[in-house]
Chains A and B, each alone.
Chain A
Amino acid sequence: MRFFTRVSVATAVSLSLAAAVQAQTSGTINARAIVRQPITITAGQDLDFGIVLQGTPRTIAETAAAAGRFDATGTASANVNVNFTLPANLVSGANNLPIGTWTGCYNQTAAVNSSGCTTIASMAGTTATTFGNVAGAGRLWVFVGATVSPAAAQAVGTYTNTVTLTLTYF
């Protein structure tokens, strides 16, 4: 009886496959997916100083439209830690262009820095900085401002350095 059942099933499957090949009849299946929140951090907007003159410091506030912005997503209410590594200078060969007075704020509800953006007090320095845990709805926008201070005789060249934002998921 068990053997018969197996043959019957096999036959039925074969017949079904044959029918499918020959007729290409339509049908429906159920699809199931479990969506889990990935973790993402991206540099959403560059820190844009625009035109800067020799000998004239230029400041972009963290609340300005030109402020740099990092976007992060994760699980709602999760404990994450955000850490900046901020350079003290932009470098061109042996020449330095000082960057001072880094400022920052974060918003957990919208990509808005003009209001509702919590100041990151510990960003006053220029070294690695950690600002607490960011819980909430799973979205986080971090805004960064800074001051560049070119000397009056700032050497011509291409100045670069790296701003690193690290998101640690616990």
Chain B
Amino acid sequence: MAIHERGLVEQERIIKKDRIVIDGVDASGDWNLIILPRVINDYDLNFAKDIINHPQGKTINQCYQCAYCTASCPVHNYWDEKYNPRHFIYLARLGMLDELQKRADVIWRCVSCHKCTHRCPKGVLVEEVLKVIVNQMSKRGLIEEYPSKKFDKFFTESVIEYGRIEDGELLFGWMEKQGYSVMKDPILKKPIPFAGGLPDWLKSLAIKPLKGMNIDFLILNAKHMLIHPRTQNWNRFKQVLERVIREEGIMTH
């Protein structure tokens, strides 16, 4: 199997011939590998400018493409090698938005373990830069609302509303958003953890505490599910927070 330089020969163009003989010569293998002439005239340098002007993305130009970030990345190494932080930075700096868009299905997969940022020899805040890239992409409509963003929004909305989060609401509310049917009590409309159409592992996990856990702990958590913990004096701050987030415009895209 030939190794092809990524980007020069697109995988979908390769024609595989298991057995082909031409004029008595065995010519089986990969065909159509000619490197097409490339003139990149569809680029957008404003993309990189927008990143540099953002406090999170200031360090992007320090990158010298050593790929230490990619070598450290657990998503690249354990999940999909299409996820390549070095390559994303490269494409963003050149403004090759069509190439970035081709990777929209993997580019949001960062788990924020910060190995890339930690190990970068040039002091690029890689994780922050990647987030700005994804955010700028969604601002320009290059990427649709991706799965992790749905949860991020759900979480942040809860913070904006109450000032604090509550684990039960997050877990069961999220399950409901994912399409599982969550059974609720008829009066207060609060979820019942171990009933309904939740996945089996979650049901048995929710039932487990009843057997041996501290009663006051269960009561505390049930109370929090009924009465959401709140930050006092939150309203005035909340309005400013809401406005800032709206102006930033990433939540709404």
Chain A partners chain B: no
Give the A-binding residues of B (Cβ under 8 A): none
